[in-house]
Amino acid sequence: MMIITREKVSISRSEWECYTDTPDSVIDVINKEFSEILLTTTSPVYAQKRIYDFCAKYKEWGFIDSECNQTATDVINKYYNSSIDRWAVLGVTLQ
């Protein structure tokens, strides 16, 4: 069951919709980084940019596929009470 709090993001393999052979350790790393990103970013679009950039390191496990991007965006929208789409990040660069 997906957990999204100020302190912790916990998203399962099936909720991420990443590859079924993705190691638990990879999912744990991504969840931990996602938690940190949400805690240290005030804009949903910049949070999306940061998590997409981080997940790109794990593309071999499907973390840049549309399903994972949608999951990340859904979590961001829930966390920030926003309504961005999964393409909101296009053209955004971090300073």
Q: For residues 2 and 12, what is the distance between their CA atoms, to the nearest angstrom?
A: 7
Q: Sketch the domain layout of the chain as residue ranges.
A: 3-80
For residues 66 and 55, give the distance between their C-alpha atoms in angstroms, rounded to a whole number.
Answer: 12
Answer yes or no: pTM beyond 0.95.
Answer: no
Q: What is the pLDDT of residues 30-84, one digit of tens each?
A: 999 999 999 999 999 999 999 999 999 999 999 999 999 999 999 999 999 999 9
N-to-C CA span, the chain: 35
